[in-house]
Amino acid sequence: MRQAIHQISVPTSGKGLVEITRPVRGWVEAQGMSSGLLTIYCRHTSASLLIQENADPDVRTDLESYFEDIAPESRNYVHDTEGPDDMPAHIRTALTSVQLSIPLVQGALALGTWQGIYLFEHRSRPHRREIVLHLLGD
Protein backbone atom coordinates (compact mmCIF):
# COMPACT_ATOMS: atom_id res chain seq x y z
CA MET A 1 0.00 0.00 0.00
CA ARG A 2 1.34 3.42 -0.89
CA GLN A 3 0.33 7.07 -1.30
CA ALA A 4 0.73 9.64 -4.06
CA ILE A 5 0.01 13.34 -3.71
CA HIS A 6 -0.30 15.98 -6.40
CA GLN A 7 -1.58 19.52 -6.72
CA ILE A 8 -3.23 20.98 -9.81
CA SER A 9 -4.04 24.62 -10.44
CA VAL A 10 -7.30 25.23 -12.29
CA PRO A 11 -7.93 28.57 -14.00
CA THR A 12 -11.53 29.77 -13.91
CA SER A 13 -13.16 32.59 -15.85
CA GLY A 14 -15.84 33.67 -13.40
CA LYS A 15 -18.83 31.83 -11.98
CA GLY A 16 -19.53 28.40 -13.40
CA LEU A 17 -18.63 24.73 -13.60
CA VAL A 18 -15.22 23.73 -15.00
CA GLU A 19 -14.77 20.05 -15.78
CA ILE A 20 -11.57 18.55 -14.35
CA THR A 21 -12.25 14.86 -14.99
CA ARG A 22 -9.51 14.54 -17.61
CA PRO A 23 -6.50 15.93 -15.64
CA VAL A 24 -7.65 14.11 -12.49
CA ARG A 25 -8.06 10.78 -14.28
CA GLY A 26 -4.79 11.29 -16.16
CA TRP A 27 -2.80 11.76 -12.97
CA VAL A 28 -4.54 8.86 -11.21
CA GLU A 29 -3.87 6.45 -14.07
CA ALA A 30 -0.22 7.51 -14.25
CA GLN A 31 0.25 6.26 -10.65
CA GLY A 32 -0.29 2.69 -11.85
CA MET A 33 -2.39 1.51 -8.92
CA SER A 34 -5.09 -1.12 -9.35
CA SER A 35 -7.26 -0.35 -6.34
CA GLY A 36 -7.37 2.56 -3.95
CA LEU A 37 -9.09 5.73 -2.82
CA LEU A 38 -8.74 9.12 -4.50
CA THR A 39 -9.49 12.23 -2.47
CA ILE A 40 -9.88 15.58 -4.24
CA TYR A 41 -9.57 18.63 -2.01
CA CYS A 42 -10.27 22.27 -2.94
CA ARG A 43 -8.22 24.71 -0.84
CA HIS A 44 -10.73 27.58 -1.01
CA THR A 45 -13.89 28.88 0.63
CA SER A 46 -15.50 30.39 -2.46
CA ALA A 47 -15.13 27.50 -4.92
CA SER A 48 -16.20 23.89 -4.46
CA LEU A 49 -16.27 20.43 -6.05
CA LEU A 50 -19.20 18.64 -7.64
CA ILE A 51 -19.89 15.35 -9.37
CA GLN A 52 -22.44 16.07 -12.07
CA GLU A 53 -23.78 14.97 -15.42
CA ASN A 54 -21.18 15.31 -18.16
CA ALA A 55 -23.53 14.80 -21.12
CA ASP A 56 -25.92 17.72 -21.71
CA PRO A 57 -24.32 21.16 -21.07
CA ASP A 58 -27.83 22.46 -20.26
CA VAL A 59 -27.55 20.67 -16.91
CA ARG A 60 -24.64 22.96 -16.03
CA THR A 61 -26.60 26.03 -17.14
CA ASP A 62 -29.52 25.06 -14.91
CA LEU A 63 -27.26 24.27 -11.95
CA GLU A 64 -25.50 27.62 -12.24
CA SER A 65 -28.80 29.46 -12.49
CA TYR A 66 -30.22 27.55 -9.53
CA PHE A 67 -27.29 28.38 -7.23
CA GLU A 68 -27.50 31.99 -8.41
CA ASP A 69 -31.07 32.08 -7.14
CA ILE A 70 -30.71 30.08 -3.96
CA ALA A 71 -27.85 32.23 -2.63
CA PRO A 72 -28.48 35.56 -4.36
CA GLU A 73 -26.18 38.57 -4.42
CA SER A 74 -29.23 40.70 -3.64
CA ARG A 75 -29.59 39.27 -0.12
CA ASN A 76 -28.56 41.57 2.72
CA TYR A 77 -25.17 40.40 4.00
CA VAL A 78 -23.12 41.75 6.91
CA HIS A 79 -19.92 40.58 5.20
CA ASP A 80 -19.87 42.73 2.05
CA THR A 81 -16.39 44.26 1.93
CA GLU A 82 -15.08 41.80 -0.68
CA GLY A 83 -17.87 42.47 -3.18
CA PRO A 84 -21.49 41.37 -3.58
CA ASP A 85 -20.46 37.96 -4.96
CA ASP A 86 -18.26 37.01 -1.99
CA MET A 87 -20.76 36.01 0.70
CA PRO A 88 -22.98 34.12 -1.80
CA ALA A 89 -19.79 32.28 -2.81
CA HIS A 90 -19.21 31.13 0.79
CA ILE A 91 -22.83 29.96 1.04
CA ARG A 92 -22.70 28.05 -2.26
CA THR A 93 -19.48 26.39 -1.06
CA ALA A 94 -21.26 25.36 2.16
CA LEU A 95 -24.21 23.93 0.20
CA THR A 96 -21.91 21.83 -1.97
CA SER A 97 -18.50 20.64 -0.67
CA VAL A 98 -14.74 21.22 -0.93
CA GLN A 99 -13.89 17.52 -0.83
CA LEU A 100 -14.74 14.39 -2.79
CA SER A 101 -13.45 10.83 -2.45
CA ILE A 102 -13.78 8.30 -5.27
CA PRO A 103 -12.75 4.63 -5.09
CA LEU A 104 -10.31 3.26 -7.65
CA VAL A 105 -11.48 -0.16 -8.87
CA GLN A 106 -9.50 -2.38 -11.26
CA GLY A 107 -7.31 0.55 -12.24
CA ALA A 108 -10.14 2.99 -12.99
CA LEU A 109 -12.03 5.60 -10.99
CA ALA A 110 -15.49 4.28 -10.01
CA LEU A 111 -17.22 7.22 -11.76
CA GLY A 112 -20.60 6.32 -13.24
CA THR A 113 -21.18 6.57 -17.00
CA TRP A 114 -22.63 10.07 -16.78
CA GLN A 115 -20.51 11.40 -13.94
CA GLY A 116 -17.94 14.12 -14.47
CA ILE A 117 -15.83 15.88 -11.82
CA TYR A 118 -16.31 19.64 -11.73
CA LEU A 119 -14.75 22.60 -10.01
CA PHE A 120 -17.56 25.02 -9.18
CA GLU A 121 -16.27 28.60 -9.26
CA HIS A 122 -18.51 30.91 -7.22
CA ARG A 123 -16.71 34.25 -7.70
CA SER A 124 -17.39 36.62 -10.62
CA ARG A 125 -13.75 37.32 -11.52
CA PRO A 126 -11.29 34.76 -12.92
CA HIS A 127 -9.24 32.88 -10.31
CA ARG A 128 -6.66 30.13 -10.12
CA ARG A 129 -7.88 27.38 -7.81
CA GLU A 130 -5.55 24.95 -6.06
CA ILE A 131 -6.81 21.38 -5.96
CA VAL A 132 -4.95 18.70 -3.98
CA LEU A 133 -5.14 15.09 -5.20
CA HIS A 134 -4.41 12.33 -2.70
CA LEU A 135 -4.31 8.71 -3.80
CA LEU A 136 -3.92 5.77 -1.47
CA GLY A 137 -3.82 2.18 -2.66
CA ASP A 138 -1.79 -0.54 -4.31
The window from 8-16, 24-32, 79-87 that contacts its own copies (CB under 8 A) reads: 79-87
Separation between Cα atoms, residue 137 and residue 17, nearest integer Å: 29
Residues near its own copies (CB under 8 A), total: 57
Asked if residue 23 binds its own copies (CB under 8 A), the reply is no
Q: E-assigned strands of 14-125?
A: 16-19, 36-42, 47-53, 99-105, 108-109, 115-121
From the CA atom positions of the chain, what is the Rg in Å?
16
**81 vs 84, 87, 91, CA distance in Å?**
8, 9, 16
Chosen residue from 21, 51, 68, 124 binding its own copies by CB under 8 A: 51
Q: With binding defined as CB under 8 A, does residue 132 bind its own copies?
A: yes
The window from 8-16, 23-31, 68-76 that contacts its own copies (CB under 8 A) reads 68-76
**Contacting residue, 15, 102, 121, 122, with its own copies by CB under 8 A:** 102
75 is an interface residue for its own copies by CB under 8 A: yes
- DSSP structure class, residue 52: E
Q: HEC string of 98-124?
A: CEEEEEEECCEECCCCCEEEEEEECCC
The footprint of its own copies (CB under 8 A) covers 1-3, 5, 35-37, 39, 41, 43-45, 50-53, 56, 58-59, 61-63, 66, 70-71, 75, 77-79, 81, 87, 90-91, 93-103, 105, 110-115, 130, 132, 134, 136-138
